[in-house]
Amino acid sequence: MRSIRIITQARNQPIEIQIASTFVAMETIKELIINKNLEKIRPFKDNTKAKSIIAELKKIIVDTNDVEFNDKTIVLSKIENLNSIGNNDSFKIAFKLMGINLTSEDVKCISMRNRFLHGNSPHEDEPEEVRIQELTKIQLNAHLLTCALILKYVGYKGVIKNMLKYLDIINERRELKQELFRTI
């Protein structure tokens, strides 16, 4: 429900706010999926063994002279997260766990999320009409992906409408090589 609320509350806001909100909603549902499946996807299968190995590695680093490092705390922090899934990988894993195949356009869209979440926006140097068109494409793709995750998470199996392709058809552009309906 939190993801849905985030998306709906962003409606009628500037397109950049809608996109950032959609990515926050995607992150929210992704976290639920990842946390529900941690035992299947952690790098180490046995979490107890992982903790033991991590403790051993940290001891080696702590016992190493500080002059060997530019920043010992960063090394220790990375070791602490050794049995965690990286944020970028976790998105791909979440879609895979839900049985959703990602296209290259989907992966590109997901990779843009950090730009929006950190207040950056692509296409700022473009004319306003082009900028809005490009941002609308990103928003519609991010929205489709987020809704696909939400729907699969609650058990939906079926088709969803690709609004980006729909706009391509009704505006008689025929530029996108995507399907109007996606099976999830």
Q: What is the DSSP string of 18-34?
A: HHHHHHHHHHHHHHHHH
Calculate mean pLDDT across residues 165-178: 84
Q: In sequence order, what are the beta bridge partners of 103? A: none
Q: Residue 147's pLDDT is what?
A: 97
The tens digit of pLDDT for each residue in 53-100 reads 999 999 999 999 999 999 999 999 999 988 888 777 899 999 999 999
Alpha-carbon distances, residue 122 vs 48, 65, 100, 142, 174 (angstroms): 44, 44, 27, 15, 24
C-alpha closest to that of 182 among 152, 157, 162: 162
Domain ranges of the chain: 2-39+85-183, 43-80
Using DSSP's 3-state secondary structure scheme, residue 122 falls into: coil
Q: Which of 55-64, 121-130, 139-148 has the lowest mean pLDDT?
A: 121-130
The tens digit of pLDDT for each residue in 147-163 reads 999 999 999 999 999 99
Using DSSP's 3-state secondary structure scheme, residue 54 falls into: helix
The tens digit of pLDDT for each residue in 3-30 reads 999 999 999 999 999 999 999 999 999 9
